[in-house]
Structure 1
Amino acid sequence: MAGYPYTSLHDLALKDIEWERWQRLVNSIAALFNSPVAFINQASNKGIEVLVASELPTTHYSLGGSASIETNVYCHKVVRSNSPLYVKDASKTNEWDNNPEVIEDNYISYLGYPIHWPDGKCFGTLCVMDTSPTNYKQPFLEMLEVLRDVISSDLAHLYRESELKIESRLDPLTKIHNRRGFEEAFIQFQKLGNRLNRAAQLLFIDLNNFKKINHTLGHKAGDEVLKRFANILRSCIRNTYQMET
C-alpha cells in the first residue's frame, strides 16, 4: 500500500483552493519560527505528499514529493495518531534513526499539527522542521495550532461548496439527477463519445398509471413509489450512467 485512501488535491485540480494564500501562510510560518522549512502536507494515496512548501533556498522537498506509508517520517505519526507531534531533538531518541528526513537532510526538530477534514479525519499536516534542536515556547505552539485551524476551515468551506453543487444537481426526493444535473452530465457524455468515436444511448422510462396512485393513495404513497423505483434503477446500472427524474 503506497498511501492513504484520499486522492491528492493536486490530482483533483480543484480551483476553489486558495493556493496562493496557503503559500503565503507557510512562508510566514517559516519566517516566524526562523525555520529552514515549513509545509502543508496531505495524507493522500501517494503517502505523505507535499502540497505547499516554504519558498526558501533551504527547502529541500519539492511540491508533489511524497513519502510512502512504509517510510518512517514524522508526519506519518501525526496522521496515524491524529494528534500533534513535537520532537525537539530526534538525535536524543532511536525512534527516528531510519527517518530519511533525519538521515539525509538532518531535520532533527519537528513540530506538526494534524489538519482535519470536516468529518474529523486527518487530512494531513502543517509542520515546521529545523536542522538544530529547538525549544519553542507555548505561544509558538498555540500560534501554529491556530494557523492549522485556518487550513481546516478552508477545507470545510471547500467541502460545503462541493456538497451544495452536488445537491443543486439532484432531485431532493429520489437523490438522482434533476434536469440541470442530467443536462450537464449528458453534455459530458456526448463529448466523451465524440472523443472516443462511440455512440451514446438515451433510455426513457415512463411509469404507467402513476397518477392513479397519487389520486387514490395520496402523494405520500406516490413519493414512496418514486423513491423505490429510483433505488431499483440505481441498483441495476453502473455508477457512471446518469439518471434523471
Structure 2
Amino acid sequence: MSDLAGKTALVTGATAGIGRAVAMRLAENGAKVVVHGRNADRGAELVSAIAGKGGRARFVAADLADAADVERLAAEAGEVDILVNNAGVYEFAPTPDTSTDGVHRHLAINTRAPFQLVAALAPGMAARGHGVIVNVSSTATTKVTPGGAAYGASKAALETLTRYWATEFGGAGIRVNAVRSGPVRTPGTEPLLAAVGDAANRMTVRGRIGDPEETAEVVLFLAQDRSSYVNGTIVDVHGGEPATALD
C-alpha cells in the first residue's frame, strides 16, 4: 500500500480508456475510488474488477453535460482527497461544420464540469489542509490539426484553469496539475486510429500509440506525496513529438 491508503479519489470518465486505468492504479495503491461514468453496467464491472484485486470502489452515474447532474455527482462523492478530471468529449469537424450545440457540449464536459467539481470539492480539501487535483488534457492544445478547434479550445481552457487553481488553492495545501496526453489507444479513439492506419504510429517519436496505463502512471505519481513539490505544471505524456519539416 502506498501513501494513498485511507484517501478517497473521484475519477470522472472512469469506465473506459485512461480513466479506467487511472481508477485501477489509484485503487491498487490504497485509495478508495469513486468511479464516475454514464453506463451502469460498465461501472459495476469496474467496481468488481477493483474489488477482485483487493481494492475498494463505488460507482456514481452522472451526465457531465448537465450542470445540475455535476452538482449531484460532487454531493454524492462526498469528501474527496484526490480529484481526477478525466472525462472528455472529442468530436472532430471543421469549424463551419461544428454546430453551436457541439461547441457547448465540448465546453460543458471538458471545461465547465471540471470547474464545477473543483468549486464544490476544493473548499473541503482546503479545510482539511490537503488535496490533489489532476486534470487530463491533450496535445490538441499545442499540436494544431484541422477539425479540432472546439476540442482543442476546451482543453486549452482546462490547462489555463490548472494554473489558476494551483495559485488559488496552493496555499491551502492543494496541488493542481495536468497531464497533457498524446494519442492513446482506447475504445473511443480506435475508430480514428483505424482510419489513419499505419500513419498513427508515426505520430510519436516512439513509433507507436500510447497505452492508457502509461498515462495512468503519471497521474498516479501526481496524486502521491512523492510529487509534493509539483504544482501548477502541465506534464507532457506523448512519446515525443516528431519534428516538423521546414519548407
TM-score interval w.r.t. the shorter chain? Answer: under 0.3
Larger Cα Rg: Structure 1 or Structure 2?
A: 1
Report the TM-score, using the length of structure 2 for normalisation.
Answer: 0.27
Pick 1 or 2: higher relative contact order, CA cutoff 8 A, min separation 6: 2
